[in-house]
Chain A
Amino acid sequence: NAGVTQTPKFRILKIGQSMTLQCTQDMNHNYMYWYRQDPGMGLKLIYYSVGAGITDKGEVPNGYNVSRSTTEDFPLRLELAAPSQTSVYFCASSYGGNHNYGYTFGSGTRLTVV
């Protein structure tokens, strides 16, 4: 049981480039989330999904896009990378959306935009 798997673990992008951060979970969780964490700060929610085909914006969605075509996968797309998007990105999943369900997080993708 792998849990939540994120790839790649590290990436350096040039300004204006695009990339997709991959996230997959094997726990049959309905809910999935993308967070970013800037140095010394807490996590901020970018996007989340309550099931295949459904996505919603979080606190800081600008500059990102997501899709949820399957229960297992929730990729995060950066179209025009900017230095402000330098951060560590965490994907998480949960069985349900309410208080009873804890989140399982991946190990993160460290992204640097230069």
Chain B
Amino acid sequence: DAKTTQPNSMESNEEEPVHLPCNHSTISGTDYIHWYRQLPSQGPEYVIHGLTSNVNNRMASLAIAEDRKSSTLILHRATLRDAAVYYCILRDRDNNDMRFGAGTRLTVKP
């Protein structure tokens, strides 16, 4: 399985944008880029996913590099409730399971 590399931790100030990077240099043409986050003492929750084009939803934006070897999850205005571990995951289009790495722990300072 193609792997992802994320920083262990990042900090942000409240109400500022946050850019969470993910490297996936061995991504294959059929891999989709998924992001999940895990709030303290909760199960992970889906954030966003994409293949080649940038994607937006109510939670976040996903910017995908043209060569698809990296991507960035963008939180436009971080709130204290966004403090969580963020996971970048590659999923083959027909894959029946999803493999999590260690993720990036985001701290949001008031």
Contacts and interface: CB of A to CB of B under 8 A. Distances in A.
A101 B105 CA distance: 24
Given A99-B34, A99-B92, A99-B93, A45 B44 contact: no
Contacts of B45: 105
Contacts, number: 61
B43 A45 contact: no
B93 A45 contact: no
A56 B101 contact: no
Contact of B49 (A59, A92, A102, A107): A102
Interface string A10-48: 000000000000000000000101010000111111001
Nearest to B94: A98
A5 B87 CA distance: 22
Contacts of B95: 97-99
B44 A56 contact: no
Contact of B100 (A4, A43, A102, A108): A43
Nearest to A90: B43
Contact of A42 (B51, B93, B100): B100
Interface in B28-43: 32, 34, 36, 41-43
A48 B44 contact: no
B43 A105 contact: yes
A59 B92 CA distance: 16
A104 B94 CA distance: 18
A59 B97 CA distance: 10
Nearest to A6: B43
Interface string A87-105: 0001010000111001111
The 6 lowest CB-CB distance pairs between A and B, nearest first, are A105-B43, A102-B46, A42-B100, A99-B32, A43-B100, A97-B96
